[in-house]
Amino acid sequence: EPEVTQTPSHQVTQMGQEVILRCVPISNHLYFYWYRQILGQKVEFLVSFYNNEISEKSEIFDDQFSVERPDGSNFTLKIRSTKLEDSAMYFCAIEGVLEAFFGQGTRLTVV
């Protein structure tokens, strides 16, 4: 099973601040995803990223969000101006042969 490392494991930020969540797959993959899970709610798809472009995004993924792969290995999710409702677990996932493998998540707390 491919390994996906997410950093930080927990981030606390003030409302209105920018945050960058990072995902580092151990091996090279072409397809990446970000999902989020608000406490007590379902896991929700945010965006998929293929070949350095967004291939799909959900309604949640508005202009406050952006993704990039700045150095060919890290995959980042940026939230430009955080809101209280952005508090959630954020999961990165990579596509294997026919399966998606998830990281352990970043817990984002906006205060």
Partner 1 sequence: DAKTTQPPSMDCAEGRAANLPCNHSTISGNEYVYWYRQIHSQGPQYIIHGLKNNETNEMASLIITEDRKSSTLILPHATLRDTAVYYCIVRVVEYNAGNMLTFGGGTRLMVKP
CB nearer partner 1, residue 20 or residue 60: 60
Q: Residue 102 Cβ, how far from partner 1 at the closest point, in Å?
A: 4
CB nearer partner 1, residue 68 or residue 95: 95
CB nearer partner 1, residue 14 or residue 51: 51
Please tell me the distance from the alpha carbon of residue 50 to that of residue 56, in angstroms, as a whole number: 9
Q: How many helices (H) and strands (E) does the chain have?
A: 0, 11
Q: Return residues touching partner 1 (CB under 8 A).
A: 1, 4, 30-33, 35, 37, 42-45, 48, 50, 55-56, 58, 89, 91, 93, 95, 98-105, 107
Question: What dihedral angle (degrees, nearest 10) is formed by the CA atoms of 19, 3, 68, 48?
Answer: -100
Q: Residue 69 Cβ, how far from partner 1 at the closest point, in Å?
A: 14
**DSSP calls for 33-78:** EEEEE-TTS-EEEEEEEETTEEEEE-TT--TTEEEE-TTSS-EEEE
Q: Residue 16 Cβ, how far from partner 1 at the closest point, in Å?
A: 26
CB nearer partner 1, residue 18 or residue 40: 40
